[in-house]
A = this chain, B = another copy of it.
Amino acid sequence: MQNFVLENPTKIIFGRDTIGQIGPETATFGKKVLLVYGRSSVKKNGLFDQTMDSLQETGLSVIEHGGVRSNPVLSHAREGIELAKKERIEVICALGGGSVIDSAKAISAGALVEHDVWQFFKGKKSIKKTIPLTCVLTLAAAGSEMNGGMVITNEKTDQKFGTGNKLLHPNVSILDPTATFTVPPNYTAYGAVDAIAHILEFYFTTRDPATPVQDRFMEGLVINIMESCDRVLINPENYAARADLMWCATLALNGWTAAGLGLVGFPMHMIEHSLSALYNVPHGAGLSVVVPAWMKYQAEQNPTKFSQFAERVFQISAKNDSEKASAGIRQLTGWFHKSGSPTSLAELKIPVTDIPNISENALKLAKIWRLRDYDQKMIEEILLLCADS
């Protein structure tokens, strides 16, 4: 196990009928609230009204900043920052999934500085203070509700960049599984794939060969994500299944699994970010294509950990590590496919002839994330494995 510092100050309020607590919780940080949300779905399913009612009944003054799209864009975050500055916002409330929460985080950091918020993402400036943030989560996927990360797409430069800081942890996040009852099957599956991808980035990229405590925690999460997603896809209003899936997605990226792993990379995300940035595919759908290809590529180099994964997650027994690894990757890919998540570039309607362009874009992020093992050729080889499922 590697040395680590772990500090996660986010207060989680989890369960049924908890959304009404957003007003009192938000009020502990200030009176003037910026309510950040997405598009029409939260107005249709009643979550907007529940949140707004609770904020207003607590006596808070609410300014709205709606319209965050999936793969949230910089221009919209910048508008939020201007609004927060103009209105002297004291606390931000995010109602949505990872895209909304990440936009709210960008606003919470950007509204307290004079320079442009993109400087944080380019690593030119570091975050020193943020406006307090509360969340009502509506999608089991990104994990942003309990971590200090955020990802934004600069739509002018086709760059999807992320950054992290302890101060970006939400102060309070409300996780009511019923808020995800109306998430359609494909987005439910993309969310599950996203959460699995987060775990696999840690699981397979740690350079510590001995992380048994974290390994078993992560293997358990992957099993639970698949099982709970299966149950949700049969009955979208299965509370227990929605609850398991929601909590697993949070645990996948809240720092608990990663503690002790040392330096890890996010190579699958590095490649996927280019798919999202260039083609605006849903993040989970893009990962669903990249993850199997990346696993195949890596397992050929070193099958040991992939073999352990196959054995413990899918109970695969085979003659050797290499066979076990391959069988495990096939099982996982099969599960993605069965759940309605794409497993090839073809399914995303991305032509193979675009691969040089995608890899060129991805390489920029590889450099920023210091994924030194990844040159353009290697990224192209992985993308070629994405061509067919």
Structural contact, A3 and B14, CB atoms closer than 8 A: yes
Beta-carbon contacts under 8 Å, A1-39 to B:
1-16, 18
Residue of B nearest to A240 (CB): B210
Structural contact, A14 and B6, CB atoms closer than 8 A: yes
Identify the interface centre among A1, A223, A244, A247: most chain B CB within 10 Å of its CB. A1
**Residues of B contacting A4 in the complex (Cβ-Cβ under 8 angstroms):** 12, 14-15
**Residues of B contacting A11 in the complex (Cβ-Cβ under 8 angstroms):** 5-7
**Residues of B contacting A253 in the complex (Cβ-Cβ under 8 angstroms):** none
The smallest C-beta distance from A348 to any residue of chain B, in angstroms, reads 31
The smallest C-beta distance from A282 to any residue of chain B, in angstroms, reads 25
Scoring A residues 59 to 93 as 1 if CB is less than 8 Å from chain B, else 0, what string do you get? 00000000000000000000000000000000000
- Whether A95 sits at the interface, judged by CB under 8 Å, is no
Scoring A residues 214 to 230 as 1 if CB is less than 8 Å from chain B, else 0, what string do you get? 00110111011001100
**A213-B251, A260-B247 are known contacts. Are A5 and B14 too (CB-CB below 8 A)?**
yes
Q: How far is the CA of A216 from the CA of B251 in the complex (A)?
A: 13
**A219-B220, A220-B219, A247-B260 are known contacts. Are A13 and B8 too (CB-CB below 8 A)?**
no
Beta-carbon contacts under 8 Å, A234-279 to B:
240, 243-244, 247-248, 251, 256, 259-260
Residue of B nearest to A223 (CB): B216
- Whether A212 sits at the interface, judged by CB under 8 Å, is yes
**Residues of B contacting A7 in the complex (Cβ-Cβ under 8 angstroms):** 9-12
The smallest C-beta distance from A13 to any residue of chain B, in angstroms, reads 5
Size class of the contact patch on chain A: 35 or more
The smallest C-beta distance from A142 to any residue of chain B, in angstroms, reads 18
Number of copies: 2
Beta-carbon contacts under 8 Å, A157-195 to B:
none
**Residues of B contacting A217 in the complex (Cβ-Cβ under 8 angstroms):** 217, 220
Q: How far is the CA of A118 from the CA of B248 in the complex (A)?
A: 40
**Residues of B contacting A13 in the complex (Cβ-Cβ under 8 angstroms):** 5
The smallest C-beta distance from A359 to any residue of chain B, in angstroms, reads 37
Structural contact, A244 and B212, CB atoms closer than 8 A: yes
Contact partner of A220 among B220, B248, B256, CB < 8 A? Answer: B220
Q: How far is the CA of A224 from the CA of B256 in the complex (A)?
A: 16
Q: How far is the CA of A131 from the CA of B365 in the complex (A)?
A: 46
Structural contact, A247 and B212, CB atoms closer than 8 A: no
Structural contact, B248 and A213, CB atoms closer than 8 A: yes
Q: How far is the CA of A10 from the CA of B8 in the complex (A)?
A: 8
Identify the interface centre among A5, A10, A220: most chain B CB within 10 Å of its CB. A220
Structural contact, B260 and A14, CB atoms closer than 8 A: yes
Q: How far is the CA of A212 from the CA of B231 in the complex (A)?
A: 13
**Residues of B contacting A248 in the complex (Cβ-Cβ under 8 angstroms):** 213
Q: How far is the CA of A5 from the CA of B172 in the complex (A)?
A: 10
Structural contact, B1 and A12, CB atoms closer than 8 A: no
Contact partner of A240 among B1, B3, B256, CB < 8 A? Answer: B1
**A1-B247, A3-B16, A15-B4 are known contacts. Are A216 and B220 too (CB-CB below 8 A)?**
yes
Q: How far is the CA of A6 from the CA of B12 in the complex (A)?
A: 5
Residue of B nearest to A215 (CB): B220
The smallest C-beta distance from A184 to any residue of chain B, in angstroms, reads 23
Q: How far is the CA of A290 from the CA of B130 in the complex (A)?
A: 50
**A1-B240, A224-B213 are known contacts. Are A14 and B219 too (CB-CB below 8 A)?**
no
**A213-B247, A213-B251, A243-B1 are known contacts. Are A259 and B14 too (CB-CB below 8 A)?**
yes
What 5 A-B pairs have minimum CB-CB distances, sorted nearest first?
A3-B15, A216-B220, A7-B11, A1-B243, A6-B12
- 17 more contacts with CB within 8 A, not counting A210-B240, A256-B256, are A1-B15, A1-B244, A1-B247, A2-B15, A3-B16, A3-B18, A4-B15, A5-B13, A5-B14, A7-B9, A7-B11, A212-B227, A212-B228, A212-B244, A213-B221, A213-B251, A216-B221
